[in-house]
Structure 1
């Protein structure tokens, strides 16, 4: 469990990190070695789930062997699938990271929401429903290894 005290806001208790794949931790279907290394480090503290409609069809192979649980969501109703998944985990303990339209419902059900504006862009409503916005997957994942960045951004 990861406990983060936000001055003026209280304590955030996180157990789960739920990640979108394409556009969030991967670019054009490929996950970088740096991202894979960050996931290995984060898995020491949080349970990690990757939820994806798998646009490029290679997500499972890209993350095979990493300490993450892979779930394919519907290409037509993935937003609802992601929301349901987060709610079943217990959204009050979930940090969600995404960039797309199908991440909005997941964000609304999560305690901490991080949007990534990477090379594939980001859906405007995902940005509007996030707590923190970053410009690449590495920055998003590093937040969970250096939580003072979260504190600095969210404090009152």
Structure 2
């Protein structure tokens, strides 16, 4: 679990972190070694899930061997409502979502903490406007959660 006490007394507590895959964790379907290592570290603290339509068909192979990371592959016609349904089932108040694409918007509308990744594959304006935090890379997003006190600087009121 990731817990942070904000200066105003709010308690943030997260049990689940849901990632989009392409454009968020992976570039052109490929994970970097640094993302792989950071995912391992994060999965030791919280339930880590990657939900993707797997545009490049590489997610299963790329995530293979990363203990504690659950992969959910959606059908190619998925529109994002499926991602939001999973977040709702796990509890939107205790879930962080991390994404970049239009099909991430539905989960961004309901999750407690929304982190948008503005990487080489771009960032949809809908996810941008629904996000609490915008980062430059998946590594930056994961490091925010691994050193949760960093969240205080960005989220303090």
Indicate the TM-score class for this superposition, using the shorter chain for normalisation: over 0.9
In structure 1, what is the equivalent of residue 112 of structure 2? 111
Q: CA RMSD in A?
A: 1.0
In structure 2, what is the equivalent of residue 120 of structure 1? 121
TM-score by length of 2: 0.96
In structure 2, what is the equivalent of residue 45 of structure 1? 45
In structure 2, what is the equivalent of residue 146 of structure 1? 147
Alpha-carbon separation, structure 1, partners of 2:48 and 2:134: 20
Alpha-carbon separation, structure 1, partners of 2:118 and 2:79: 20
**Matched residue SS, 1:13:** strand
Deviation at 1:149, TM superposition (A): 1.4
Taking a change above 3 Å as real, the CA distance of residues 13 and 55 of structure 1, as seen in their structure-2 partners, is same
Higher mean alpha-carbon deviation, 72-81 vs 12-21, is at 72-81
Deviation at 1:88, TM superposition (A): 0.7
In structure 2, what is the equivalent of residue 20 of structure 1? 20
**Matched residue SS, 2:77:** coil
TM-score by length of 1: 0.96
Query: Structure 1 regions of 5+ residues with no counterpart?
Result: none
**Matched residue SS, 2:39:** helix
Aligned length, in residue pairs: 156
Structure 1 residues 3-152: aligned runs within 5 Å: 3-8=3-8, 10-66=10-66, 67-152=68-153
